[in-house]
Amino acid sequence: MIYPKIPLAQTVVQLCKLKGIKHIIISPGSRNAPLTIGFTNDPYFKCYSIVDERCAAFFALGIAQQLQGPTAVVCTSGSALLNYYPAVSEAFYSDIPLVVLSADRPKHLVGIGDGQTINQKYVFKNHILYSANLKLDLKDEKNVPLNEELPIIKNLEDKLERFLGLQKSIQSHNEEEINVAINHALINNGPVHINIPFDEPLYETVNALSVSPEADDVKPKPRAIDDYTLKDCLEYWNASTKKMILVGVNKPNNIEKKWLDELAEDDSVIIFTETTSNLHHKDIFPSIDQIIAPLNAQKEQDLQPDILITFGGLIVSKKIKAILRKNKPKQHWHIDVKKANDTFFCLTKHIETTPNQFFETLLPKITHYVKSDYKDNWASIKQQRLKKHAEYLNTIPFSDFTFFNSVLKSIPNNVILQVSNSSAIRYTQLFNLNKTLEVYCNRGTSGIDGSTSTAIGCAVSNIKQTVFITGDLSFLYDSNALWNNYIPNNFRIIVINNRGGGIFRILPGHKNTENFDTYFETNHHLTAEHLSKMYGFKYETATNVNDLEDCLKTFYKKDKQPKLLEVFTPKAINDEILLNYFEYLK
């Protein structure tokens, strides 16, 4: 087998292999050539070549999201690394393991005006679990004349340190740092950065390894609830007649059904879920905004829980956040092994375990159900809302709202649904979805920038069909996502094109002015037609509900190429139809 000659490159590649990091997304470059040689010549790795580093990182994120394990991205030095930042921050807030491997110039070439060079150390310091800065192999530095380093004090000190033996061996340091970084990604679920300096020559190869690194085998310890916390929780639980469980972004099949069944029997408990919660039960309350948006002040107070229990990722609904910040629960417990956000400004407990472990510990110790009408009252409101929702659909013309009604009903069973941010995910929240779907959205930072790339990464790594629903601005923003050779033929994109950022028409502002149209809504007349042709997608369009439903009949069926359906809706009425919807529900 062919290996890069540089021992540091061999060490990085071998430790990735020992740690089980199989999927490697490489962006072309020269400084990262030793890593590229190492990964692409080892049949263990599944390597992908993606030119645009921003797209590459979101593509990797989509794979990691599905595998629930780390993927690695590899780039050259300089600004290439900075293009990973949007995906790194998304991985940081969404708890997705992403290993960033950045090639760098040697220390003596940084800060002297050399090309394609920036300060790469700790560049992600505010959004990273761990930053490892590796050291050059001594044999790679031997060609650097000492007199070239003498004027640079930091490099002279480094040189003396190396030769006087005042630090660990370089190899030991590098192995330790790589192990620590990857362990953080594996155990704590998040992004890590390994910065790797290489000196020229970069392309030399050998037929045998010169290093034999060892991987630390570190496993997370299960966290039990301590007796004091459990006793306190039980006392509050047994004394409370209004308990709300609010679930954010959650992996499919992550909560055992027996706990949902048991909670559903308790009349003092209501469970609010979102589209991204991936939880289904006949007695839970999906479509939060549909239920709570029409509430008056008194009803909002009636909703106020004694205990709020949250788990999962970030919450989409602004309305539930506003209500609970105004009508704060007496107790807010967040269940997560890693972190607890004080989203409602009243956090009282961070219970550092999994939801299943929490309910397994708590619920069997509850000896009786508190008498309460909390769930029944809200179940009645839920039924009223569903009835009004169905009525409203029969009164409105073709629009964004009817688009989502038709599309979401059309998606076949057992499909992975990826949804972009902004209007797309908020509309999706208003509809009850097929419970066989798995729903994902980049809600860590809620940006529109990498949704398409993430969806394609998901499609590549899962044999199930992936369907991606996105708005026009999000799609056009991330159009380089289509620039790769890995998109499966069963991948489907549905673009809702309302000629701009439709969500800004819903928010307060001065609509229908030149300033608004240019700088907020960003009007345009672009379509996905030519992009579809260039990247080998079968392209279809619809401009009314009949055309849309005709297209959807065959859209998901097997084909020899991926498909893109672009649906044009009338932007002038979309905001009115949505705002009137919440009025109608009253």
What's the pLDDT tens digit per position in 126-149? 999 999 999 998 754 444 444 444
pLDDT computed for residue 248 by the predictor: 96
pLDDT computed for residue 233 by the predictor: 96
Helices (H), 441-544: 451-461, 472-477, 503-506, 514-519, 529-535
Q: What is the CA radius of gyration of the chain?
A: 27
CA 532 to chain centre: 25
Q: Do domains 3-206 and 227-377 have the same CATH topology?
A: yes
3-state helix, strand, coil in the chain (%, to 5): 40, 15, 45
Q: 227-377: CATH homologous superfamily?
A: TPP-binding domain (3.40.50.1220)
pLDDT computed for residue 156 by the predictor: 63
Lowest mean pLDDT among 140-149, 326-335, 484-493, 558-567: 140-149
Q: Can you tell me the distance from the alpha carbon of 469 to that of 496, in angstroms, rounded to the nearest whole number?
A: 8
pLDDT computed for residue 38 by the predictor: 98
* DSSP designation for 449: T
Q: What percent of the chain has pLDDT over 70?
A: 91
Q: Confirm whether pTM is higher than 0.95.
A: no
Residues 432-481: tens digit of each pLDDT: 999 999 999 999 999 989 999 999 999 999 999 999 999 999 999 999 99
Task: Give the CB-side neighbour count of residue 321, counting CA atoms within 13 A.
Answer: 11
The fold for domain 3-206 equals Rossmann fold (3.40.50)
Q: Can you tell me the distance from the alpha carbon of 407 to that of 428, in angstroms, rounded to the nearest whole number?
A: 10
pLDDT computed for residue 142 by the predictor: 43
451 neighbors 442 (Cβ within 8 angstroms): yes
pLDDT computed for residue 144 by the predictor: 46
Residues 315-347: tens digit of each pLDDT: 999 999 999 999 999 999 999 999 999 999 999
Q: Can you tell me the distance from the alpha carbon of 148 to that of 556, in angstroms, rounded to the nearest whole number?
A: 63
Per-residue pLDDT band for 509 (boundaries 50, 70, 90) equals low
Q: Which CATH architecture has domain 396-585?
A: 3-Layer(aba) Sandwich (3.40)
Per domain, the residue ranges of the chain are 3-206, 227-377, 396-585
Beta pairing partners, 101: 74, 194
pLDDT computed for residue 523 by the predictor: 80
pLDDT computed for residue 522 by the predictor: 77
| Number of other CB atoms surrounding residue 516 within 10 Å | 17
Whether the pLDDT of residue 51 is over 50: the answer is yes
Residues 152-203: tens digit of each pLDDT: 445 665 665 555 444 458 999 999 999 999 999 999 999 999 999 999 999 9
451 neighbors 425 (Cβ within 8 angstroms): no
222 vs 478 pLDDT, higher one? 478
